[in-house]
Structure 1
Amino acid sequence: MNSFMMDIKNNSNDLHAVAEKTGFLKRLLEGKASTESYAEYLYNLYEVYNAIEVNLEKCKDNKVVKDFVLPEIYRAEAILKDLKFLLGENLNTMKPLASTRAYVARINEIGETAPELLVAHAYTRYLADLFGGRTIYGMVKDLYKIDEEGLNYYKYETLSDGPEMKGFVMNYHNKLNNIELNEEMKERFINEVANSYVYNIAISNELDFIRFNR
């Protein structure tokens, strides 16, 4: 692992820990949430993934972005299936949180002004799914008794667990290590990864406050 990947991790380690141990995500994994609040969390993730994926596709001819346009790990379509199962017609009444709207606005902004930085948000979301998704899948299934039909978010049609998944993640890391950015853009990229964690933490905290602490 060369210095760029290490710089990314070193700059965001604390935020990564905060993301896992605060807000709604912490409540969810402790079994203290509800199926309804989980569906709302998923809906807000859907808005984020949809923005990332729409912008990746829009910018797929960019020399940096093109290596990270990977439909096999896209999550918006899978999450939408879960939402239709969990919410039914109520899906039409859902609205994104203020923090989600801010996050989506940021993704759309860099899609127009600095497409290379889209990869920072893709890295933060997709690698978290690939590393921790199976663990969260098992916990959500057991704690909230959600049927398999509502757990598509955690499943990959073209990637299997084990060596294949590990190889995919390592290849993703290698692409990041070899990303073609100048020093100024590398610094902006590292900061954008931190921004991504901040936005995700904000969504988790806002949802937790609205549903359980107000």
Structure 2
Amino acid sequence: MGGGSARSGAPVTACFLPASSALGHRRSTLDAPATTPFSTLIRTASHEQHTEAENSSFMSDMLGGRLGVAAYRRYTEQLWFVYQALESASGVLADDPVVGPFIRPELTRSAELERDLAHLGGPGWRTGITPLPATAAYAARIEECVRDWPAGYVAHHYTRYLGDLSGGQIIRGTAEKTWGFARKGDGVRFYVFEGIPNPAAFKREYRELLDALPLDDLEKQRVIDECKRAFALNTAVFRELGEEFPLSA
């Protein structure tokens, strides 16, 4: 669903943009030099899952301008369900010592998504929209982390919002060009962060928050594994969208 390049350190398809054995990843991550920033560990350890998500056929076809606006609308609907779950944490976890620093009002996307969906589907856009099974599973996992494991929620927060700030901007540009939306206007407002005038600086500060997480090595490894899971959940959503909107021969 959004995303960023591995070079920038942000997910590309977390915008809803087979690995080595878990044991192998655990050893390589925990054996990394103690001075390696956690933001670097989480980026490099999830690179394979990130790449798989961003190379999905649906995302490739959408970014290539080969799909109709109905596919983009359906994709945006799925994002809405995910962000309803993601942003339910704002009141619940705002004072949590792990999650609290990441809860930033300038990141909130639900209102922008609803404005985009009203543009795409009219004032009655809520009527009849449904989550794909993969989307429902994705949202349920986020809600589970909000409820039971705040540190795991950080993994989902990272893959989504840093992705939206990075590769999500590629999706915005494609949508404006392919379906004629006004630049940064209705239809693509989800990708416009008016409260973040300097995305590069914001992402640097975000990575510093990751580096400062008060977690031991085993808990950090669990967060890394959850990040991989978040990308896998994104990939599953893309797969089902691809089945619903196959590219015509």
Alignment of 1:114-125 (within 5 A): 114-125=149-160
2:92 to 55, 58, 61: 58
Show structure 1 runs of 5+ residues with no match: none
Q: Measure the CA separation in 2 of the matches of 1:213 and 1:136.
A: 18
Checking the alignment, whether the CA contact within 8 Å between 1:57 and 1:69 is kept in structure 2 is no
Decide whether the 8 Å contact of 2:89 with 2:146 is kept in 1. Answer: yes
Q: What is the 5 A alignment of 1:54-203?
A: 54-88=88-122, 89-147=124-182, 148-160=185-197, 164-203=198-237
Check conservation: 1:127, 1:169, Cα contact below 8 A.
yes
Check whether the contact 2:85–2:142 (CA below 8 A) recurs between aligned residues: yes
Structure 1 residue 117: Cα displacement: 1.1
Whose helix proportion is higher, 1 or 2?
1
SS of alignment partner, residue 95 of structure 2: coil
Counterparts of 1:60 and 1:70, CA distance in 2: 9
Residue 91 of structure 1 aligns to a residue in which SS?
coil
- Count of residues in Structure 1 that have an aligned counterpart in Structure 2: 211
| C-alpha contact (below 8 Å) 1:42/1:83 kept by paired residues | yes
Query: 1:53, 1:46 → 2: CA distance?
Result: 10
Q: 1:196-211 alignment to 2 at 5 Å?
A: 196-211=230-245
Q: Percent identity?
A: 31
Q: Quote the offset at 1:82 in angstroms.
A: 0.2
TM superposition score normalised by structure 1: 0.93
Deviation at 1:213, TM superposition (A): 6.8
Aligned residue in 1 for 2:58: 24
Unaligned runs of 5+ in 2: 1-34
Q: Contact conserved, 1:47 with 1:100, CA < 8 A, in 2?
A: yes
CA contact (8 A) 1:56 1:118 kept: no
Instruction: Return the alpha-carbon distance in structure 1 between the equivalents of residues 38 and 125 of structure 2.
Output: 44
Contact kept in structure 2, 1:59 and 1:66, CA below 8 Å: yes
> Could you tell me which amino acid in structure 1 is paired with residue 187 of structure 2?
G
Q: How far does residue 55 in structure 1 lie from its aligned partner after superposition?
A: 1.9
1:88-130 C-alpha deviation (Å, 9 max, x unpaired): 1243111000000001111111111111211110100100111
* Aligned equivalents of 1:104, 1:4: Cα separation in 2: 25
Q: Deviations over 1:30-58 (max 9, x none)?
A: 11111111111001011111211112431
CA-CA distance at 1:158 after TM superposition:
1.4
Supply the distance in 1 between the matched residues of 2:91 and 2:139 (Cα, whole angstroms).
15
